[in-house]
Structures are given as C-alpha cells and as structure tokens.
Amino acid sequence: MTNVPELFASMVFNQKVMQDRLPKETYKSLKKTIDNGEPLQIEVANIVAHAMKEWAIENGATHFAHWFQPLNGLTAEKHDSFITPQDDGSVIMSFSGKELVKGEPDASSFPNGGKRATFEARGYTVWDPTSYPFIKEHTLCIPTAFCSYTGEALDKKTPLLRSMEMINEQAKRILKLFGKNVKRVQTTVGAEQEYFIVDEQLYNQRKDLRMTGRTLFGARPSKGQEMDDQYFAALKPRIVKYMEDLNETLWKYGILSKTEHNEVAPAQHEMAPIFNTTNLAVDQNQLTMELMKKIARRHGLVCLLHEKPFEGINGSGKHNNWSMSTNDGENLLEPGKTPAENAQFLLFLTAIIKSVDENQDLLRISVASAGNDHRLGAHEAPPAIISVYLGDELFAVLESIKDGKTLTASGAGKMNIGVDVLPPIPKDSTDRNRTSPFAFTGNKFEFRSCGSSLSIAGPNTTLNAIVAKTLKEFADELESAKDFDDSLANLIKREVTAHWKIVFNGNGYDASWVTEAEKRGLMNLRTTPDAVAHYLDEKNVKLFTEMGVYSKDEMESHYDIKLEKYSQVLNIEVNTMLEMINKDIFPACYKYMKDVSKTVCQMKTAVPQAKCVSQTALLEKLDSLSETLLKKANILEEAHKEAQNENDLMKAARIYSEKVVPAMKEARKTFDQMEPLLGENYKPFPCYEDLLFRV
C-alpha cells in the first residue's frame, strides 16, 4: 500500500528540503528571494547549488536541465551532466551557483514571431526560485524563465511572473484602504484537466490521431454519450491501473492530484488538483500533461489532450479555477460575514466584472487555438462569447445596488444600498452554471473556456493583467477620495451599472443567447483569426505595456506566432486528410466494391435470373460517394493551395478558417456516409466504436 505522505514531493527540492539541507542563514536569504523577490547573491547561490546537487545525486540524478516554457506552449529542457573532469583523468560531480542561476541553451528554433534571426541565436534561461526544482528520469529539472539577449521574453513564464507582481502591487493598495497591510497578494489556480484514453494499438492504426491528435474522419457509433452512463461511472480495470500510476507519479512531484473520474463522453476522464499559487499551478499543469501521456504508454494506452478528438461527442476543456489571496490566507473572493468584509469583497468582484467586460477580446484570444475553435460553442462547452455568471443571490445583490432598490436577501433580512450595511453574502448560495465561460463558484472564478491542451500561463497572465489594471484605477480614485465610504459606494454602483451587460446567468448553449449577446454589444469571436485580429488593438497594447506585462515588440511577436501556429496546425490536418483519402479510404472502398462486384458476377453466372438488387444498390451508393469525395478532396486541395500561397499571416489564417475548414468538414461528411457501408474487414482504420469502447 502506498504511503502517500512519505511519497508526496519526494522528487521535489521544496522548502522543507531546503530548510533541512541549507545552513540557517542561507535558507533565510533564499526565503527572502522567494517571498519578496530580493536579489540572490552568488555566495548564497553556490551553497544552494551544492545542496541541490547532493540531494539530486542521492535520488539518482546524473544530469541537470534548465526547464522552461517556450512560446510553442510545451516545455523544453537541455541536459548537462554533473561530471567535471580532473587533471588525473578522474571526474567529480559538481554544480555551481552560476550554473543554477543562469544558462545559455541557444534554443533558436523555438517560435519567436520573426523577432529573433537564426544568426542572433543567443538566449538565456534564468532560475525562477518561486518554483521548486524536481528530479525527472535521472535529471534535476530547474524551472526557469527564457529570454533573449536583448531581454525580451521568449517564454510564457516571464510575462506570468510580471503579471503576478502587478496584481500583487495593486491589490495591496486596495487592501490598505481597508486598513490591511499585507506582505503579498497572490493569485491561485486549480486546473481541472480533461482527457481521453484510447488503446495504443488502435491509435497506431489511425494516421490522423498520430499526426494531429484528433480524428479527421469517423461516423458516429450506434451508441455515444446519450445514455449518460459514462459520467462518474465505475472505472474500467485498465483505467484504474493507469490512474493509480498517474496519481503516485504526480504525488512524487508534489502535484496535489485530488479528484479523478469518468467524464461525460465514452473514454473521457478528468483529473483535478488542489489549488496552488499560479506560478506553481502553471508549471505543475505542464508537467501533468507530459506525465499523462508518458504514463499512458506504459499501460498500452494513449492519452489524447486535443480539445476535440472525436466529432459528435463532447470535447475536452481545462477549467481554470482562479482566485486571489493574501500571504496570511485570506481569500479575497470569499464573501464576508460583516458589512466591511462584504464591501471589500464587492469591490474586488466589481473590479473583475469591469475587467472581463472591457477585455472580452483578450480573454477570448488567451484561449484561442485551432483545436479549441472546434469546442467553443459546440453545445458542450462555453460559447465563444465571454460573459460572467454570478449566481442568483449575488446577481440580486448587484442588481439592487445598480437599481438603487432595497433587497431582501435570503436569510439576511433587508439590505439597504449603503455599503456599510451590506448583509452576509452566503458562499455557494446558488447553483452552478456549466454553460458560462467565466462563472463565480463561491470563492473563485472558473474560466471554463480554456482548451485541454492549452498552457494555462497565457489565460492567467491575461487575467492577472486586466484585473491589476482595474484595481489600479480603483486605487487611484479611492486613495484621493474625501469620504471613503461614499466614494466606494458610488464607485461600485457606477461600475456595476456600466458593465452590467457582461453579467449573464442564463443558458449559454441556447441559440437565443447569441442574439441577446449581440443586442448587449458583446463580442462573438467565433474563430482564432476573428479573435487574434484584435490582439494589437490600441487599448490592448496600452494595457499590457502600461502594466509591464508585455512590450509592444513581444505582443507583435505573439500575434505572428498565434497566426502561424493556427495555419500550421491546419496545414498538417489537410495534408493528413488528403493522404488518408488517397492511401486509406479509396483503396479500402475500391477493394470492397471489387469484391462485391465479383460476388454479383458469380451469382449471375450461377443463377442467371438473380437480380442482385442489394449488391447493385450498395455499389451505386459507394460509387456515387467515392465520386463526391474525390470532388470534395479536389476543392479542399485548391483551398489549401490558396492558403499556402498567401504570405500575409492574417489573410492566410482567414483562408484556412473560411475556406479550408469548411472544405475539410465537407470531405469528412462524405466519408462518414461511406464508412457504415463498408464491410467490417474492409474498414480503412479503426472506427469510433473501436476507439471509444475498447479500453
């Protein structure tokens, strides 16, 4: 039986290990760096590096690597051994403070949006002391930021750290107005990770899964998810073994894996961790995705993290549960029990509502990808329209403030509008809304639009930055107020009224919401190009640059990278689709038609009066569908050529979105009509029934 407390974080150089292994003064100095961002002296770095190396070697490590998160959304690592040669031909194992703190991995081939020429390849990795080093497969992995020679961020971690610092500064200003002097305010995240598991042998027979992570063809099986018998059902034996292995591995890395269950779709599952500071949560989710895929292979399985691996059943998201708390444990999104506590809570709540309304485009951009475009708004996930869900009770509280009316709050008596007499606001006082992209769930907001394969660094950087900007505006106004209570009440009422249009408690899946949202003036950015087109809008550049999160050059780089990646993903999908049509689908269909034709000929020879009606009808159907598929493949190929020949990144992405994607859907539709007609032994690749129900 696994001893979880003993196993937990056994592969992590965390604060407990630091405290045990470092001299007292060294630990104090390092703690100041971690907690307060104070510079790390080289003398301290050398002592830390030595202790880290000794610990790593004791746990089987022979190499170290600066582990970073480039702009491709994945992680990267370059391994160096601890071996240092000696004059007598022997070696020792050494690791210096300089090697710990800074590396130069080159890493010139990562996406950079054209801001970094190959001959200008110098890039640096810099240790992030706020994220703990860990041992992975005999390598000490040191979480780092990655930047260019000129100081531009080439990764997702650097802007995230900047955004965390900005929200810390501005939130502390707000709390000071309420008489609270806190050392630090940090955002926290719990990322619920959805995923599919399929049999490895079947996966290897599907070129589309291997190349793109999703099925480009596939008729719906006779049974899907309509019976609701997969959701929270008993786990299959192979899945149990996989999850046990996954949990034990995650616990070794200090990842607080808490919840596991079957999701709605067949072969779909979910893992949810306990909240952690945003920086650690981002690092740990990146590691979790890597481990999910690696461990699945050990069990003859494959983990699919694509947002929409199967047409016609639910896709996978990653629900980003975001909150704010102080260093002494106060959750700033926790409704209070006293009027003063609720005034503070309502101010932070108002700031978030205003931030989301004014930055719908940035939130949508932060989750935009070719994969997520298939999922958002597909009656299984939040729509592409950004809105805020508050629940009935909070909705009523804010509506009463907006309208200047007295409210009778549940279990709290009458509520006057003056902020100083707000009643208790119960936590979890209402049901949840699973159709909302940004829902308040008691003491946090659940950003449900994130795709399952997405790095959550981008969405959380955006959330932190937009809320920090609003908190700054509120602090600037309230710090100069003559009467704080009156100014606070007026501010909340003014901003809630101004941004009321973003609040929506209804069904986001209902088609009427699209019309209603348009009337309200909300943005409906359906595709990645639609969203990214707004990224460099003046107000967005101003926000990120003034908050010190991104420079304008970095944003221009991100703009290019997002569009390049979108087009590259679809380019791979089209090439794969055309190859499958020509190499798999047509040969399988022709072989079946040949055998059926041979049967007809043999029957008519043996029984001249035989009509062979069913066989002839089948051949006619398959012949007609084959012809249609050929025509649609040709249309797809022409649209693809048009996109490939376009040099302007936005124009190319638009062609992919408006011409290529619809052409792919048409080609798919035709094969999905053909597949059920083919004999079982003539299938060009495993069908949905095989993939979804054979684990």
What DSSP character marks residue 156?
A: S
- What pLDDT is attached to residue 335? 83
The pLDDT of 465-474, averaged and rounded, is 98
**Which pLDDT score, from 0 to 100, does residue 428 have?**
53
Q: Is the pLDDT of residue 160 over 80?
A: yes
pLDDT at 457 over 80: yes
**Which pLDDT value is given to residue 120?**
60
- Position 630 scores a pLDDT of 98
Residue 408 host element (H or E): strand 407-409
Q: Which are the contacts of 437, defined by CB distance < 8 A and separation ≥ 6?
A: 363, 382, 383, 385, 386, 387, 447, 448, 449, 508
Q: In this structure, what are the phi and psi dihedrals at residue 515, rounded to the nearest 5 degrees?
A: -65, -45
Question: Cα 664–670–673 angle (5° rounding)?
Answer: 140
Model pLDDT, residue 590: 97
Q: Which of 121-125, 502-506, 567-571, 606-610 has the lowest mean pLDDT?
A: 121-125
- What are the tokens at 567? 């087009």
- Non-local CB neighbours of 535 within 8 Å, separated by 6+ positions: 361, 362, 365, 555, 558, 559, 562
Q: What integer is the mean pLDDT of 284-306?
A: 98
Question: What's the pLDDT score for residue 662?
Answer: 97
- Give tens-digit pLDDT for 537-582: 999 999 999 999 999 999 999 999 999 999 999 999 999 999 999 9
Residue 488, CA atoms < 13 Å, CB-side half-sphere? 24
* pLDDT (average), residues 496-501: 97
- State the DSSP code for 352: H
Tell me how far apart the alpha carbons of residues 554 and 537 are, in angstroms, rounded to a whole number.
14
The percent of residues above 90 in pLDDT, for the chain, comes to 77
Model confidence at 528: pLDDT above 70: yes
pLDDT computed for residue 413 by the predictor: 40
pLDDT value of position 483:
93
The pLDDT of residue 656 is above 80? yes
Instruction: Determine the Cα–Cα distance for residues 276 and 320; give it in Å rounded to an integer.
Output: 12
For residue 604, give both structure tokens: 């008519």
Amino acid at 462: T
Q: Which amino acid is at 331?
A: N
Cβ pair 478, 343 in contact under 8 A: no
pLDDT digit string, tens, across residues 7-21: 999 999 999 999 999
How many C-beta atoms lie closer than 10 Å to residue 516's C-beta? 16
pTM of the model: 0.93
Please state the rounded mean pLDDT for residues 239-245: 96
pLDDT at residue 468 tops 80: yes
Q: What percent of the chain has pLDDT over 70?
A: 93
The whole-number pLDDT of residue 225 equals 82
Residues 6+ apart with CB under 8 A from 278: 160, 164, 186, 187, 188, 189, 322, 460, 464
In the structure, what pLDDT confidence band is assigned to residue 378 with cuts at 50, 70 and 90?
low
pLDDT in the model for residue 411: 46
Task: Check: CB of residue 233 under 8 Å from CB of residue 693.
Answer: no
- What's the whole-number mean pLDDT along residues 305-317? 95
User: What pLDDT does 572 receive?
Assistant: 98
The tokens for 229 are 């018998």
Q: What is the DSSP string of 127-189?
A: E-TTS--EEETTEEEEEEEEEETTS-B-BSHHHHHHHHHHHHHHHHHHHHHTT---S-EEEEE
Please state the separation of Cα 133 from the chain's center in Å. Answer: 23
Query: Can you tell me the distance from the alpha carbon of 641 to that of 508, in angstroms, rounded to the nearest whole number?
Result: 37
Q: What is the pLDDT of residue 667?
A: 98
- CA nearest neighbour of 444 among 463, 422, 458, 472: 463
